[in-house]
Copies of this chain bind each other. A is one copy, B any other.
Amino acid sequence: MSRPTIAGVARAAGVSVASVSRVLNGLPATEEMTERVRRAVAELGYVPDARARSLKVGRTFQLTLAVADVGNPVYVTMMRAVEEVVSAAGYRLVVTTTGPDVVDEVALVQGMARGYADGLLISPIRVDEDLVKAIRACEVPVVVAGSVPSKAGVDTVRANSPKGMLLAVDHLTYCGRRRIAFLNGPADTVPGAARAKGFAEALRAHDLEPIAVAEAADFTFAAGRRVSGDVLRAKPNAVICANDLLAVGLMHELAAAGLDVPNDVAVVGMDDSELAEQSFPPLTSVNLGSAERGRRAAELLLARIDDNDRTPRRIVVQPSLSIRRSTP
């Protein structure tokens, strides 16, 4: 016995398929009609086919969230926020991973045209002309959590990295640290570039020279460890890291070198992810508003699905600093 269709239900209830559909969708029907349909549905264990339904109505009631790396705790914060908003709006959230390459991001965006979901929320790590083009051409609404040229004409929600950097440097100088180094991720990524720029500006604002700037191969713990040596050779008394994973990697190397955090070297991370409070010592971290970014991006996406003609908005969420024990 195969899965029952709406026709089967109609037959069992002795009514038309249209009536079944109406009852199921809460459209007006007699008491008796409703009852007969309900009974038949229960009897057969009928469940409407989402594929057929979405083919007809043109909507899937699914939204896709694409992130670069599920291992990066900043995405779990964001994911939780997005999930909350979209499920409250009656959508299912499906999460997919793109990996670090632009080509995969482009493929994903183009694939959306196949109708898998009604909208895409993407947090691209690298952006190039092709990606912008793909986003513009995308059949379904796209909102970007991150930076993308304004000519892309797409809703974006991004962090204010320079401001966040300033917060970090303010705090460190206030603590008396002036030999500040920077452990960045790849500078050819969007966040990498933004943070590098922000770091330079923030130091300039304080009339400081960077002690060292290192660039990890990617935004991971392992990559952070690998380049920590380059940072430490410069004997900084404070290091700002482009995200929490890198910061934790650095702290491991500091421990291995017999250096105390925060007494010998203060460390500040970025993202203020769950890892920041889990690390030891708990990590002072720049909160770039990942939860709020997720929330607002999701709201933007829902709004655009509702009305695709609205003018694109570009939201910037403000950072704050979560001071923990990795700084004095």
Tier of interface size on chain A: 35 or more
CB distance from A324 to the nearest CB of B (A): 11
User: How many angstroms between the C-alpha atoms of A137 and B4 in the bound complex?
Assistant: 13
Binds B, one of A10-18, A47-55, A151-159, A192-200: A47-55
User: How many angstroms between the C-alpha atoms of A102 and B50 in the bound complex?
Assistant: 23
User: How many angstroms between the C-alpha atoms of A13 and B112 in the bound complex?
Assistant: 25
CB distance from A84 to the nearest CB of B (A): 11
Which residue in B3, B115, B278 is a CB contact (below 8 Å) of A275? Answer: B278
Contact A251 B280 (CB under 8 A): yes
Number of copies: 2
Which B residues touch A116, using CB under 8 A?
Answer: 50, 62, 92
In the complex formed, the residue of B with least CB distance to A93 is B96
Which B residues touch A80, using CB under 8 A?
Answer: 70-71
Q: What is the 8 Å Cβ interface bit string for chain A, positions 135-176, against chain B (1 contact, 0 not)?
A: 001010000000000000000000000000000000000000
Interface assignment of A274: CB less than 8 Å from any CB of chain B: yes
Which B residues touch A315, using CB under 8 A?
Answer: none
Q: List 13 A-B contacts (CB under 8 A).
A: A50-B114, A51-B51, A51-B55, A52-B55, A92-B96, A92-B116, A93-B96, A94-B95, A94-B96, A95-B95, A221-B277, A249-B278, A252-B278
